[in-house]
């Protein structure tokens, strides 16, 4: 549940759109500071 909430917060802040603009594709591994997650479009 906390992962879903975190994902919604990032999306709401425009992070998904910014990652897409920078070339992120479905399945890419994204690193933010010490966090790492899979980008799912």
Digit-coded pLDDT (tens) for 1-34: 888 898 899 899 999 999 999 999 999 999 989 9
Give the number of domains in the chain.
1
Residue 14: per-residue pLDDT: 95
41: closest CA among 9, 5, 2, 15? 15
Higher pLDDT, 29 or 35: 29
pTM of the model: 0.72
Residue with tokens 């992120």: 24
Which domain covers residue 22, as residue numbers?
Answer: 1-39
Residue 32: per-residue pLDDT: 87
Residue 36: per-residue pLDDT: 92
Instruction: Determine what percent of the chain falls in helix, strand and coil, rounding each to the nearest 5.
Output: 45, 20, 35
């Amino acid at each position: 549940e906390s992962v879903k909430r975190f994902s919604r917060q990032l999306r709401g802040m425009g992070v998904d759109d910014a990652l897409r603009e920078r070339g992120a594709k479905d399945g890419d591994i994204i690193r933010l500071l010490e966090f790492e997650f899979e980008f799912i479009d």
